[in-house]
Amino acid sequence: MNRFALLIGAIAAFAAAASAQVPTADAILDRVDRNAVPGSKILVSEMTIHGRRESRTVKSKSWIEGEDKAFTEYLDPPRERGIKMLKLGDRLWTYSPDTDRAIAISGHMLRQSVMGSDLSYEDMMADHKLREAYDARVAGEETLGDRPCWVLELTSRSGEIAYPSRKTWVDKGRFIVIKEERYAKSGRLLKTLEVRSVEFVQNRWLPKEVLFRDVLKEGQGTEFRILSIEFDAPISDALFSKASLRK
């Protein structure tokens, strides 16, 4: 009997030790969210969109405050210059200088491509914390390049989300997503994300170059590059208003 109790105790101790080495999926997502969603940021970025006919690059500047407020102005090419987008909570407006109108993007239009890229307006809107939006489990471990990763399987907690499930590779050391597959409710793969390079800025690791692919589209995907980024920068609250779209 004593031997049996000792054996049970040994197994329990081993299991506890093992679980101490593998953080829970929620703990991993917490770390990822802390890295990805800072208080505020101002970033200049460009997207190179590899279409079926040609590739083109669109440059923009974004002011982002938490999860709910974002203002983006397109800087280049000339045709797109002056187009602005404002996100306030779950609402999105776009302004074009040609029409001098700010129009709400809603419904099925949210699934439309942004500037012809592999990203949709829904993708741009989705700045929620993964930990809050998804139930997760650790499905395994893999090494991508030279980076060991946790492989997480995410299932949405509510039905109102663009991607009901995801498979995510999280860098074990840096706690950033370096690869992701996004699925429809039916289980069909919709989009992929692949981080090409990362950068350590203001005590945070962040993906600097990312390749997004809408697998339902033909083309070579959209490369997203951060040209400059500033965290916790002061941003005037007046910027996040419809009036600022026309300025």
Residues 84/94, Cβ–Cβ less than 8 Å: yes
Question: What Rg value do the Cα atoms of the chain yield, rounded?
Answer: 21
Q: How far is Cα 110 from Cα 124, in angstroms, rounded to an integer?
A: 9
Binding pattern for the stretch 206-235 against other proteins, x by CB under 8 A and - elsewhere: ------------------------------
Q: Lay out the site mask for other proteins across 72-101 (x = CB under 8 A, - = otherwise).
A: -------xx--x----------x-x-xxxx
Q: Which two tokens stand for residue 239?
A: 């910027």
What's the length of the chain? 247
One-letter amino acid for residue 45 of the chain: S
For residue 62, state whether it binds other proteins (rule: CB under 8 A): no
Token readout for 119 is 């990203």
Under a CB-based contact definition with an 8 Å cutoff, are residues 105 and 119 in contact? no
Does 53 bind other proteins (CB under 8 A)? Our answer is yes
Binding-site member from 104, 189, 216, 243 for other proteins (CB under 8 A): 104
**At a CB cut-off of 8 Å and minimum separation 6, what does 160 contact?**
none
Give the tokens for residue 205. Answer: 């690791």
- Do 191 and 221 form a contact (C-beta atoms < 8 A)? no
> To which H or E segment does residue 177 belong?
strand 177-183
Return the range that interacts with other proteins (CB under 8 A); candidates 50-58, 150-158, 187-195, 233-241.
Answer: 50-58
What is the DSSP-derived secondary structure letter of residue 113? Answer: B
The answer to whether 201 contacts other proteins (rule: CB under 8 A) is no
Q: Based on CB atoms, which residue is closest to other proteins, 58 or 178?
A: 58
Please pick, from the candidates 117, 130, 149, 171, the single residue that binds other proteins as defined by CB under 8 A: 117
CA distance 107 to 70: 19
- The residues facing 43 across adjacent strands are 62, 229
165 lines the binding site for other proteins (CB under 8 A): no
Considering only the stretches 61-69, 115-123, 145-153, 166-174, report the one whose residues sit in contact with other proteins under the rule CB under 8 A.
Answer: 115-123
Does 31 sit near other proteins (CB under 8 A)? no
Number of amino acids touching other proteins (CB under 8 A)? 26
Q: Is 243 in the site for other proteins (CB under 8 A)?
A: no
Among candidate residues 114, 112, 103, the one with its CA nearest the CA of residue 80:
114
Quote the least distance from Cβ 102 to other proteins, whole Å: 8
| Shortest CB 247 distance to other proteins, Å | 15
When the beta carbons of 58 and 130 are compared against other proteins, the nearer one is 58
Question: Is 51 one of the binding residues for other proteins (CB under 8 A)?
Answer: yes
Query: What is the rounded CA–CA span in Å between residue 40 and residue 128?
Result: 14
Among 31, 56, 128, 204, binds other proteins (CB under 8 A): 56
Binds other proteins (CB under 8 A): choice among 19, 24, 57, 112: 112
Cα 185 to chain center, whole Å? 19
Binding site for other proteins (CB under 8 A): 49, 51-54, 56, 58, 79-80, 83, 94, 96, 98-104, 109, 112-117
